[in-house]
Amino acid sequence: MCGESSLSYGRDFILTLLTNDPKLASAADLIGLNDLHLSLGWRSHFEVLASDYLTGICTTILEAGLRLGVGGLGRAGDNDLPIPADLVYAQYPRLGAGAALVSRAFFRGAAPVDMTREICRLRENLDYMNTLPMTALQKQRERLWDMIKGQL
């Protein structure tokens, strides 16, 4: 699949984006974490990602039979970010999310980005994360919380 030239691989679809109104979260397909953390008065979008609050919203969306996307993903394996990419990637299968935005972290630095290659790596990483048992994903959530606490 990674050798294909199309970035979408036939997976394109339209999502309703929630960015800043927590009361509307259960009606969204994609939950934007940046504006949501600001609306909630929380210090970081990573706090939202690791929170029971978001877990509850995601459960509501999935139980309604809707598609679910959460926030944005940086490049797979990018450990130069404030939170390592793998800890963020592990939250997607834990939450049941099947979609995400490509974050601006994809475009950090001066070098041009091979989007086909990077999206392929992103999908491979998510495919791997989806094979992990929930106990391993919960451990990644705990590691994420530890890192968040260390930054606050």
Q: What is the pLDDT of residues 34-92, one digit of tens each?
A: 888 888 999 999 999 999 999 999 998 899 888 888 988 988 888 887 889 999 999 99
pLDDT at 96: 95
103-111: long-range contacts at Cβ-Cβ below 8 A with a sequence spacing of 24 or more?
Answer: 103/71, 103/72, 103/73, 103/74, 104/72, 105/72, 105/74, 105/75, 105/78, 105/81, 106/74, 106/75
Domain layout of the chain by residue ranges:
17-106+113-151
pTM score of the predicted model: 0.80
Q: What is the pLDDT of residues 29-50, one digit of tens each?
A: 688 898 888 889 999 999 999 9
